[in-house]
Structure 1
Amino acid sequence: MLKQFLLCSLLVVVISLQCPKTFGQPAAAPAPAGPDNITKILEKAGQFSIMIKLLKTTSVGNQINSQLNDSNNGLTLFAPTDNAFGSLKAGALNSLSQEQQDELVQFHVIPMVLSASQFQTISNPLRTQAGGSGTYEFPMNLETSGNSVNISTGVNNATLGNAIFSDNQLAVYPVDQVLLPMSIFGPKPPAPAPSPVKKPKKKSSTDLSPAADNVPADTAGTIKSVTRGAVIFGLGFIGTFYL
């Protein structure tokens, strides 16, 4: 009996030494979730490899992550799928300058968190991070029909899918077309009309002759005085002759 007790006690000691984290210590708390990272979110969702590449090459991905960490306003990303990019004309992206690629990606970023319910009441045109929303700039309009949300840019239309990620900082929605802004892909604004050519003013019949226009004022007065004197002298000469 004593041997059995000693063996049991020894077994308990050995087990406790082999498994120190199991006995007498609380379980470790799960690590807190880190800040949102837009590229990791898209990588996890899949089918966004081209958008991820653009976010990296333009550095807009780093900008978005910084905004999420430094601001309380939040962001919404309309992310085109790889199939959406595949529907573009061949070479469309490569023909864009670095600035235009940056504007294209920023056009898909809304500077606020938008929930699905907000699409029903949002005001158009929707402001994006690309710039102004004028006719020939970066206009974007959202229309809803039931649960369907359609986006119009003035160049093309796209349909919004269900959110693939959403929290109080960031919302990410897939779109089935790359959103093409007017500023890059649309027609250019019409050139301003040329100013009308002013016609020279016609001279009235009372205007002086061109020769008189070129005569200085003091010279013209002298001529008039000489002429008047000559007339008076002539009249006096004629009168004397007849007398």
Structure 2
Amino acid sequence: MASTALLLLLPFLLFSVTTLAQTPAAPAPSSPGPLNITGILEKGGQFTTLIRLLNETKINTQLDNQLNNTPQGMTILAPTDNAFNSLKPGALNGLNDQEKTQLLLYHVLTKFYTLTDLQTVSNPVRTLAGDWGLNFTGQANQVNVSTGVVMVAVNNKVREQSPLSIYAVEQVLLPEALFGDHPAAPPPKASGPASEKSPADGETPPKSDAAHSPADHKDAAPRNGVGLELVLGFGLIAFSVLS
């Protein structure tokens, strides 16, 4: 009886083993590909101007390469389209290509930061613009960033996952080196001593020592008259003696 049951189950067992052998193994999860910053910004839907500037200055490729080849990660403070629209007319057109590149790099921190990190970070925080740093202050859940020209809140997360954080900001971060108040140029020095200056328009030039005023001629006339009287007086005395 038992052998009969085993013979009946044998075809079923053989079919199950064959089916399992032919079933392909589940593929291993693929590793995530390199991050693309402009692709992430495009999904945000409010960074059209920023994406255009990144493409025009050719630094989008530079940022992607650095992000995918550094263990420290990166943090981007991304101005929205409203932020660019609120700039004074001609603010961007007045910059040359190098200055535009520096302005964009000023929005990129050289490490991955969470909002919590930015509340306690040591200022100034280094950016890819080199010596141009940013200052962060935090209170409760609010983080503010200051450039010395503008201050804006940082609280809108586009992405906060290592190695990349992107936070939307509603103002363009204007560095003092490009948009700060510059001291006025000193007034030009006088070209020579005051005694050598030419007379101003409408002024009468000073008279030379050799020039004589009408008063001088008036004084000279009496002196000539007195001399003539003395000559006539001596002449009369001499005539009286001889006669």
TM-score, with length taken from structure 1? 0.64
Distance in 1 (CA, whole Å) between partners of 2:24 and 2:130 is 56
Aligned to 1:160: 154
DSSP 3-state at the match of 1:51: helix
Aligned: 1:186 with 2:186? no
Residues 118-145 of structure 1, C-alpha deviation per residue, up to 9 Å, x if partnerless? 122111122211121xxxxx34211112
Higher deviation after alignment, 26-35 or 161-170:
26-35
Q: For residues 84 and 123 of structure 2, what CA distance do their matches in structure 1 show?
A: 25
Match of 2:75 in 1: 76
SS at match of 1:31: coil
Equivalent-residue separation in structure 2 for 1:139 and 1:67 (angstroms): 19
**Structure 1 or 2: more strand by fraction:** 2
Taking a change above 3 Å as real, the CA distance of residues 139 and 112 of structure 1, as seen in their structure-2 partners, is closer
Question: What is the alpha-carbon distance in structure 2 between the residues aligned to residue 43 and residue 34 of structure 1?
Answer: 17
How far apart, CA to CA, are the structure 2 residues paired with 1:167 and 1:81? 20
Change in CA separation of 1:25 and 1:74 when aligned onto 2, cut-off 3 Å: same
Q: Which runs of 5+ in 2 are unaligned?
A: 1-21, 189-243
Letter in 2 for 1:149: V
Distance 1:60 1:114 in 2: 21
Q: 1:42–1:52: 8 Å Cα contact kept in structure 2? A: yes
SS at match of 1:127: strand
Map 1:137-148 → 2, pairs under 5 A: 138-148=132-142
Q: Is the 8 A contact 2:106 2:133 kept in 1?
A: no
Q: Which shows bigger deviation, 153-162 or 176-185?
A: 153-162
Quote how far apart the aligned CAs of 1:184 are: 0.7
Which deviates further from its counterpart, 43-52 or 26-35? 26-35
Give the structure 2 partner of residue 237 of structure 1. none
CA distance in 1, matches of 2:136, 2:160: 19
Tell me how far apart the structure 2 counterparts of residues 146 and 119 of structure 1 sit (CA, whole Å): 12
State the alpha-carbon separation in 2 of the partners of residues 190 and 146 from structure 1. Answer: 41
Deviation at 1:116? 1.6
Tell me how far 1:168 sits from its aligned partner: 2.2
Return the alpha-carbon distance in structure 2 between the equivalents of residues 57 and 104 of structure 1: 13
Query: For 1:123 and 1:191, how far apart are their aligned partners in 2?
Result: 35
Q: 1:160 is matched by which residue type in structure 2?
A: V
Q: Which amino acid aligns with 1:82?
A: D
- Pick the structure with greater CA Rg: 2
Aligned match of 1:102: 101
The one-letter amino acid paired with 2:71 is N
Cα separation, partners in 2 of 1:142 and 1:190, compared to 1, 3 Å: farther
Q: Does the 8 A contact of 1:139 with 1:182 survive in 2?
A: no
Question: How many Å separate the matches in 2 of 1:57 and 1:162?
Answer: 26
Say whether 1:130 aligns with 2:124: no
Aligned partner letter, 2:159: F
Q: Is the alpha carbon distance of 1:68 and 1:84 closer, same or farther for their aligned partners in structure 2, counting shifts above 3 Å? A: same
CA distance in 2, matches of 1:38, 1:174: 13
> 2:232 aligns to what?
none
**Post-superposition shift, 1:29?**
3.8
Q: Which runs of 5 or more residues in structure 1 are unaligned? A: 1-22, 133-137, 195-243
TM-score, normalized by length of structure 2? 0.64
Q: Number of residue pairs matched?
A: 179
Deviation of 1:183 after TM superposition, in Å, equals 0.7
Deviation at 1:188, TM superposition (A): 2.1
Conserved? CA contact 2:76–2:167, under 8 Å: yes
